[in-house]
Structure 1
Amino acid sequence: MKQEFKFRRWTGEEMVAVHKITFDDDELIVYGGGVVHFADSSTVMQYTGLKDKKGREIYEGDIVRTGKDNIGDPEPMIGQVIMREGSWLIENEKKQEAVDLFSEITSREVIGNIFENPEMLEADENDD
């Protein structure tokens, strides 16, 4: 199976596709959106190789809602997509919960990202 490596970058105003990444004197240089940028690594997000239930690509930094599609599914949650110890997870830091991004039994839906919709994580955190 071929792994697809794709990235996107938050410019401070919009998400743009990244076409090339290089390093120069310990600086990250990102080519995308028709412009060359010196970037903070926290604004560059990797594609997980997975798509949500609507066919939308899931990237690191996306805010994802898990579904309750089958009897016995874990409780639905909202969290941020992160990479931890080589695995893609959906993490709700406030609730100290994390579930695998990949699931054969429960759907995943991208509902936003941490740059454009941070309030989605805050709203979920206040639901306690």
Structure 2
Amino acid sequence: MSEYKFRAWYSSGTKELMLYEDYPGQVFKWLSEGQPLEIMQYTGLKDKRGVEIYKADLYREGDNLYKVVRMDEHAMYGLKVIKTNYVLIRGLTFPIWHYIGNAPLQTRGEIVGNIYENSALLNN
């Protein structure tokens, strides 16, 4: 059975915070009220430390840094290559299942933050 979990990045210009919600109804209520939210859905996967992976997370495997993205054309999640020593794959997106290790629904790398709270990682 799929787990439907969401988190939302709230930014009002004066206050920023990450909201976690196991029930999507509250998130959609905030949206209907016009709150400035960025919605991120749980992918159903965990990193090698057991941390849940959400859309917009930053994922590191070795020297490579990826951003978790939704691949709408394939109805799946993927990892977009942000930083790597391999120039030819920079900017490409690969299905997230390419990175699943031996444990079911667990990846080989680890979550190191997200694009909202850890944007400095994108610039290094």
User: Does residue 1:89 correspond to 2:81, yes or no?
Assistant: no
RMSD: 2.7
Q: What amino acid maps onto 1:59 in structure 2?
A: Y
Q: What is the number of residues matched between the two proteins? A: 105
* Aligned-partner Cα distance in 1 for 2:82–2:110: 18
By how many angstroms is 1:119 displaced?
1.5
User: Does residue 1:38 correspond to 2:42, yes or no?
Assistant: no
Residues 49-88 of structure 1 aligned to structure 2 (within 5 Å): 49-67=44-62, 76-84=63-71, 85=73, 86-88=75-77
SS in 2 for 1:30: helix
Asked whether the equivalents of residues 20 and 30 of structure 1 are also in contact (C-alpha less than 8 Å), the reply is no
By how many angstroms is 1:40 displaced?
4.4
Q: What amino acid maps onto 1:109 in structure 2?
A: E
Tell me the residue number matched to 2:25.
Answer: 21
By how many angstroms is 1:7 displaced?
0.3
TM-score of the aligned structures, taking structure 2 as reference length: 0.70
Q: What amino acid maps onto 1:6 in structure 2?
A: K
Tell me the residue number matched to 1:119.
Answer: 120
Any idea what the Cα deviations from partners look like across 1:16-37, whole Å, max 9, x if unmatched? 11233379xxxx5338xxxx95
Asked whether the equivalents of residues 60 and 81 of structure 1 are also in contact (C-alpha less than 8 Å), the reply is yes
Counting helix residues as a fraction of each chain, which structure ranks higher?
2
Q: What amino acid maps onto 1:121 in structure 2?
A: L
Identical residues among aligned pairs (%): 32
User: Bigger radius of gyration, 1 or 2?
Assistant: 1
Asked whether the equivalents of residues 41 and 55 of structure 2 are also in contact (C-alpha less than 8 Å), the reply is yes
- Unmatched segments (≥5 aa) in structure 2: 84-89, 102-106
Q: What amino acid maps onto 1:16 in structure 2?
A: L
TM-score of the aligned structures, taking structure 1 as reference length: 0.68
Counting strand residues as a fraction of each chain, which structure ranks higher?
1
* Aligned-partner Cα distance in 2 for 1:92–1:114: 13
